């Protein structure tokens, strides 16, 4: 069994606080308590709140980027592979509890520059999606719909029930296989 490192446990705890209680409730004390360690133990790994949030953003961004890139690399169908990869990774995030959203949400309130890494990948993915054999309008609708569903869940803006969300996923997924 793979044991989580102390920094991973701290980041898990911080993400749980942001998801459950909101960014305003994320403090070093709260993260230490949630992780079951002393504040000094937390400070050893994350000397301040900004470094904790930076750790959250870095981990969740890397995880999301690796997921999208891995899916695209393994997809044997070239047409629409980045659109499919992005769609599948986003829906996986929705199903698993929006960890990446917790980090992004926290960074928006403290240091928006932390999102530059993910923003660069979004620009690259957008370009790849527009040039992989799908109609560029369709590719952008797929990307924006996935993001819209993600934001609806993140901010509680009339998120879709699972059954309807699954149908939306199926429709968007079908569009990733339609040629220009």
pLDDT, tens digit, 9 for 90 and up, residues 156-180: 889 899 999 999 999 999 999 876 5
Task: Give residues with Cβ within 8 angstroms of 144, minimum separation 6.
Answer: none
pLDDT, tens digit, 9 for 90 and up, residues 84-108: 999 999 999 888 765 556 666 666 6
More confident call, 97 vs 149: 149
Does pTM top 0.85 for this prediction? no
Q: Which domains does the chain possess?
A: 6-175 (1.10.357.10)
Tell me if 87 sits within 8 A of 64, measured CB to CB.
Answer: no
Give the 3-state secondary structure of residue 33. Answer: helix
Distance CA 132, CA 154 (A): 29
Residue 159 burial class via C-beta count within 10 angstroms: exposed 0-12, middle 13-18, buried 19 and up: middle
Q: Can you tell me the mean pLDDT for 62-79?
A: 93
């Amino acid at each position: 069994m793979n044991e989580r490192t102390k920094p991973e446990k701290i980041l898990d705890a911080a993400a749980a606080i942001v998801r459950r209680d909101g960014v305003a409730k994320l403090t070093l004390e709260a993260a230490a308590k949630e992780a079951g360690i002393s504040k000094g133990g937390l400070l050893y790994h994350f000397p301040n709140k900004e470094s904790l949030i930076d750790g959250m953003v870095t981990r969740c961004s890397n995880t999301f980027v690796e997921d999208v890139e891995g899916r695209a690399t393994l997809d044997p169908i070239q047409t629409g592979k980045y659109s499919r990869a992005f769609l599948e990774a986003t829906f996986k995030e929705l199903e698993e509890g929006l960890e990446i959203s917790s980090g992004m949400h926290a960074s928006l309130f403290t240091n928006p520059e932390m999102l530059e890494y993910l923003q660069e990948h979004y620009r690259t993915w957008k370009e790849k999606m527009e040039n992989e054999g799908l109609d560029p309008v369709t590719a952008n609708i797929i990307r924006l719909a996935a993001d819209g569903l993600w934001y609806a869940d993140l901010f509680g803006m009339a998120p879709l029930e699972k059954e309807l969300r699954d149908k939306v996923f199926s429709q968007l997924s079908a569009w990733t296989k339609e040629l220009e």
